[in-house]
Amino acid sequence: MTRLRIGVFGAGMVAQVEHVPNLVHLREKFELVAVADPSAKARGFMESRFGVATDPSFDALLQRKLDAVLIAAPDFAHVSAVEKALTAGLHVLAEKPLCYDPKDADRLIAAQKAAGKVVQVAYMKRFDQSYAAALGLIEGLGAKLRYISVEKTEPDASYQMGHHFYRASDDVTPEMIAEGRAETQKQVTAALGKSISGAVFRGYTGAFCSSLVHDVNLVHGFLEHLGIKQVEASAAHVFAGAEGASATMRVGGDQALWQMVHINVPHLAEYRERVALHFDDRIVELVFPAPYLNHQPTRLIVQRSNGQRYETTEVRDGFAEPYIAELEGFHMAVTSGAPVKTGIAHAKTDMTLIASIGKLAAA
């Protein structure tokens, strides 16, 4: 088996809790060469816990002999890091959101074509076995779709990952944090065509671009499978001081409606994420577990009838972990040319819709 030499940029929460342990776990497929992060604390954690070499910057990481990089740096840093990695001739697995401004995705598509390398966006829920099973259950039902609902309630991070080994990267310099804020503002302004601030800015960058982006991608995957192309945002709100955000989309003109809400429930020790597709004769629903629990199956619940007989079935298809499956998918795409499930063009579709949602929320 071809072993890919991979470097990781960003050694924060998701790298510490998921990507780095999972790369170590998949040692037959990946040789973890080094991890780069400006935080000395995060680098120290990576060295002591995983025995991996570290670099203080992405540029230093790119000096090493690598085949691929995994980008888990803050959102604003994704576009420039993907560009640099492609220029260096590397395959890329990049965290979501790939970009704020969909025009940046066009630049990345051109860079990817020129480099001839794989770029996969880290939407791990697309590698969930229950999601694949749900796709199988909705085959040919496009004309019957009436309603899609997405509801996500999120507790504080401490409830979700208090059981993991984790060291916060809280020693990044104030100058770097200020630069990151300014860069985020610049990219969001380019995406929305105007500058936003306060709760709308927090709701846009947090609830929509960082959290619901996963669900937007899941629903886009369902709609692609159903052969439905037309999706148009018709209303959007940021509420509860940016602790909540919601959007409504028309799907296929007047055929169906898609409603989506994210709400923080900081002191409820329970994460819940439901995506339900309502057809005229059945409801297909996915209930995702908290992401960092690992190996918790996603529930796939199907409600159907045969005449007066009503049935609810729950399907579970093993205990594979989507964060691991996405790494395996990336490895396959690079080593055997398998199609990329979540490429730049998919992320562009997601971020184009989210930008239109942001414009409505900011209106």
When binding is defined by CB under 6 A, the residue of 291, 297, 343, 358 that contacts ligand NAD is 291
One character per residue 139-168, x = contact with ligand NAD (rule: CB under 6 A): ------------------------------
Phi and psi torsions of 137, nearest 5°: -80, -15
**95 touching ligand NAD, by CB under 6 A:** yes
**169 touching ligand NAD, by CB under 6 A:** yes
Give the nearer residue to ligand NAD in terms of CB position, either 15 or 188.
15
Residue that is written with structure tokens 């390398």 in the block: 117
Give the nearer residue to ligand NAD in terms of CB position, either 91 or 125.
125
**82 touching ligand NAD, by CB under 6 A:** no
Contacts of 134 (CB under 8 A, 6+ apart): 222, 277, 284, 286, 300
When binding is defined by CB under 6 A, the residue of 14, 200, 256, 260 that contacts ligand NAD is 14
What whole-number distance in Å separates Cα of residue 156 and Cα of residue 319?
25
**75 touching ligand NAD, by CB under 6 A:** yes
Minimal distance, residue 278 CB to ligand NAD, in Å: 26
**138 touching ligand NAD, by CB under 6 A:** no
Give the nearer residue to ligand NAD in terms of CB position, either 96 or 220.
96
* Contact positions with ligand NAD (CB under 6 A) in 185-204: none
When binding is defined by CB under 6 A, the residue of 7, 21, 38, 297 that contacts ligand NAD is 38
Distances (CA, A) of 184 to 59, 84, 112, 123, 309: 21, 18, 23, 21, 53
When binding is defined by CB under 6 A, the residue of 53, 109, 172, 283 that contacts ligand NAD is 172
When binding is defined by CB under 6 A, the residue of 74, 142, 155, 289 that contacts ligand NAD is 74
**124 touching ligand NAD, by CB under 6 A:** yes
**180 touching ligand NAD, by CB under 6 A:** yes
Distances (CA, A) of 287 to 128, 130, 137, 152, 277: 11, 9, 16, 10, 12
**34 touching ligand NAD, by CB under 6 A:** no
What whole-number distance in Å separates Cα of residue 348 and Cα of residue 351?
5
- The footprint of ligand NAD (CB under 6 A) covers 10-15, 37-39, 42, 72-75, 77, 95-96, 122, 124, 169, 172, 176, 180, 210, 291
